[in-house]
Chain A
Amino acid sequence: QKEVEQNSGPLSVPEGAIASLNCTYSDRGSQSFFWYRQYSGKSPELIMFIYSNGDKEDGRFTAQLNKASQYVSLLIRDSQPSDSATYLCAVRGGGFKTIFGAGTRLFVKA
């Protein structure tokens, strides 16, 4: 059974701090890795995707991938109260099926 694991949280950080979200996956054949943000009662919204080992930066967000350790992370710099949401890690192999983690709840305190 292919799994994506995330700490459920909540992760609480003060405004302006760096939030660090982590994810591990079980399938070594996974090729694509995604971070989604989901506000309560809303649909997932893609923040970033990453395919290669290393870091990928987009504005305040940095995704990090380590395929040897089967580990993906998301850093949010200068966290804002509006970043408070559940962050979903999602993983895909070579096909069409995307497997989601249960998500980490993030609270950014003003």
Chain B
Amino acid sequence: EPEVTQTPSHQVTQMGQEVILRCVPISNHLYFYWYRQILGQKVEFLVSFYNNEISEKSEIFDDQFSVERPDGSNFTLKIRSTKLEDSAMYFCASSVFDPGGADTQYFGPGTRLTVL
């Protein structure tokens, strides 16, 4: 069964460093998402991406964050200068249908980001 994959599974970085989290969505999916979940807290929407551009973003997704689909398979989240409060689990998700219709998002296993 196709699945969303994410690398690395765990990333440790120093405050102020840049990190890139990588995702490979399911191959025929057209909509891509990043979420984060701080330990013990809610899953929070960060950004959605369709047709090579951001379709919607949350207040969390400020200028420190960017997303890119550098090739036909990868979808990346970059955090330019990490802060302690960026420590969280980051989930990538993908879906095939228009979000206004029958949309099933498949989540990847997540990348745990630890900022020291």
Report which A residues bind B (CB closer than 8 A). Answer: 31-32, 38, 42-46, 49, 88, 90, 92, 94-103
Check B31 against A101 for contact (C-beta < 8 Å).
Answer: no
Check B91 against A97 for contact (C-beta < 8 Å).
Answer: no
Known: A31-B100, A43-B109, A44-B91. Contact between A97 and B56, CB under 8 A? yes
Q: What CA separation (Å) do A50 and B13 show in the bound complex?
A: 40
Question: Residues of B contacting A43 with CB < 8 Å?
Answer: 91, 107-110
Check B55 against A102 for contact (C-beta < 8 Å).
Answer: no
Report which B residues bind A (CB closer than 8 A). Answer: 31, 33, 41-45, 48, 50, 55-56, 58, 91, 99-100, 102-110
Question: Residues of A contacting B42 with CB < 8 Å?
Answer: 100-103
Known: A31-B100, A97-B48, A97-B56. Contact between A88 and B109, CB under 8 A? no
Check B107 against A44 for contact (C-beta < 8 Å).
Answer: yes
Interface centre among A42, A43, A94, A101 (most CB of B within 10 A): A43
Nearest-neighbour CB distance to chain A for B67, whole angstroms, equals: 13
Check B43 against A92 for contact (C-beta < 8 Å).
Answer: no
Known: A43-B91, A44-B91, A46-B104. Contact between A96 and B31, CB under 8 A? yes
Nearest-neighbour CB distance to chain A for B102, whole angstroms, equals: 8
Q: Lowest 7 A-B CB distances belong to which pairs? A: A96-B48, A43-B107, A96-B56, A100-B43, A102-B42, A97-B45, A96-B55
Nearest-neighbour CB distance to chain B for A8, whole angstroms, equals: 10
Check B91 against A99 for contact (C-beta < 8 Å).
Answer: no
Question: Residues of A contacting B43 with CB < 8 Å?
Answer: 38, 44, 88, 90, 100
Interface centre among B31, B43, B107 (most CB of A within 10 A): B43
Q: What CA separation (Å) do A94 and B45 show in the bound complex?
A: 15
Question: Residues of B contacting A38 with CB < 8 Å?
Answer: 43
Question: Residues of A contacting B55 with CB < 8 Å?
Answer: 95-96
